[in-house]
Structure 1
Amino acid sequence: MNKSATVRHLVFTALLTALTLIFGRFFLIPLPWTHGNINLCDVGIFIGAMLLGPWAGGFIGGFGAMFLDLISGFAQYAPFSFISHGLEGIVAGLVFKYVRGKWGRVAGVSAGTIVMVVGYFFSDAILYTWATGAAGIFPNLIQGIVGSVIALLIATPVEKAIHPALTGK
């Protein structure tokens, strides 16, 4: 990548990190039984992983979700969100990279969602109890599925819109 392309890639990574934070903050439902929340941050993570690759997806997921927790009153989850959503972005991005086409995108968001759900199961179990971890599986799965569907629906239009700016063509 030349210097100009690298700068464009960094700018879009930063923008999607901020959008991930906004998506998460705009739609955030606290869950009293897990002490956490469900939100739409997965949309930005999956879009970033699809369009910018696994490492950008990991950055967007890790930092976007961590900052979301810090500003939303869920600071106890910040390090766990950094890991869970960071790995979600990396895994989804790797699947997108190596499995092309529509089914590659479906497989990528599915793999990313599974990573996030497993990550939060252990996060809740470490922070609270195994029962709390189990209670969080369904809402985290719903969060991942909703984020996946939205990301899959808007990925192509977003890609067409930013492709000229991202490639410089």
Structure 2
Amino acid sequence: MLIAVTVVISRLFIIPVPMTHGNINLCDAGVLIAAMLLGPREGASVGAISGFLLDLLSGYGQYMFFSFIAHGLEGLVAGLMLSRVSKNASKIISLVLAVIIMTIGYFLADSLLYSVSIGLIGVATNLIQGLVGVVIAYVVGPKIVQLIKK
């Protein structure tokens, strides 16, 4: 269910970034919320599959397998780190580190597909996308946990 929700919210909010042949979307929010709620395995699954499907549906087929890896690792790392911390500051750091890993993945993808300069251009847009996801996950995730407990 979280894979479908992540793909849908990501398709509703999508901004193409022509210089990098990619886009800005809300995929990271869904991946990080899944990792926060369900842990590393499910976070990795939601990240990998939703990233792959989103690129397939958005016409960015050249990124499908890179997204599978980058968002899968993002969900895995976020889930692993979040399962070991309890303080709010540590949670934010965990989410940001997961986003940095995703950003490195896309830097490598853009560098392999196009050039290192294109990869460097993509760093800023991927960080912005990821940090928006961090904010959304940090705000929405705990509210979902409260709803589930009721």
Same fold (TM over 0.5): yes
Give distance in 2, aligned partners of 1:57 and 1:75: 22
Identity %: 46
Asked if 2 retains the 8 angstrom alpha-carbon contact of 1:28 and 1:39, the reply is yes
Return the match for 1:96 from 82, 91, 95: 82
Q: Which runs of 5+ in 1 are unaligned?
A: 1-14, 165-169
Larger radius of gyration: 1
- 1:104 shift after superposition: 2.8
What's the counterpart of residue 155 of structure 1? 141
CA distance change for structure 1 residues 18 and 163 in 2, over 3 Å: closer, same or farther? farther
Matched, 1:64 2:68: no
Matched, 1:39 2:31: no
Give distance in 2, aligned partners of 1:163 and 1:128: 47
Deviations 1:107-132 (A, max 9, x none): 22111110010000000001111111
Matched, 1:74 2:79: no
Give distance in 2, aligned partners of 1:87 and 1:47: 14
Query: Normalised by the size of structure 2, how large is the TM-score?
Result: 0.97
Say how many residue pairs are matched.
150
Q: Which runs of 5+ in 2 are unaligned?
A: none
Deviations 1:39-92 (A, max 9, x none): 001111011101100010000000001100000110110000000000000001
Secondary structure at the counterpart of residue 24 of structure 2: strand
The structure whose RCO (Cα within 8 Å, separation 6+) is larger is: 2
RMSD: 0.9
